[in-house]
Structure 1
Amino acid sequence: MTDIASIPPDIAALSFEDALAELERIVRQLEEGRGKLDEAISSYERGTALKRHCEAKLREAQAKVDRITVSADGGIGTEPARLD
């Protein structure tokens, strides 16, 4: 599980969509090899934090749509919600 405290506050405040857009921009820059080495390292570190933030947001969304189930033997679990 992601440690929320390890995500910088400015990233934690971003919506999933904004974080993903910034992550995509960073990936493009790194792939193109633009910038100096120090900038690339900083961008990579920020990209890693953005990725963790996006993953946490997706887990939160999944938890909201998962359905709690009870099996015949009384076991409790979850299953993906049917959205149709």
Structure 2
Amino acid sequence: MPTSPESAAASTSDEFPDVADLPYEAARDELIGIVAQLEGGQVALEESMRLWRRGEALAAHCSTWLDDAEASLTATEE
């Protein structure tokens, strides 16, 4: 079952800044860095899980930003 943005953010609140406070570009850049770390395969399991949770929260945040932008553009076109 997918994690909601709120629960993903809450599970990482002690470890990272709240994703809700990040602009899209900052969230995207942080997510890219996390993906690179995880793909590198040199991160311990516990750290991988911590990064995975943060990545889920960042991805949800970015998706919300993009959905809102699309909705705004669609409303403007009408």
Q: Report the TM-score range of the alignment, normalised by the length of the smaller protein.
A: 0.7 to 0.9
Answering whether residue 62 of structure 2 is matched by residue 61 of structure 1, we say no
Runs of 4+ in 1 over 3 A off after TM superposition: 3-7
Give the aligned partner of residue 39 of structure 1: 47
Alignment match of 2:36 (pick from 28, 31, 35): 28
Q: Which has the higher strand share?
A: 1
Q: Unaligned 5+ residue runs, structure 2? A: none
Q: Which has the higher helix share?
A: 2
Give the aligned partner of residue 75 of structure 1: none
Calculate the aligned-residue CA RMSD, in Å: 2.1
For residues 1-12 of structure 1, what are the structure 2 equivalents within 5 Å?
Answer: 5-6=6-7, 8=9, 10-12=18-20
Give the aligned partner of residue 13 of structure 1: 21
Q: Unaligned 5+ residue runs, structure 1? A: 69-80
Aligned residues: 68
How many angstroms apart in 2 are the aligned matches of 1:55 and 1:12?
A: 12
Please state whether the residue corresponding to 2:75 is helix, strand or coil: strand
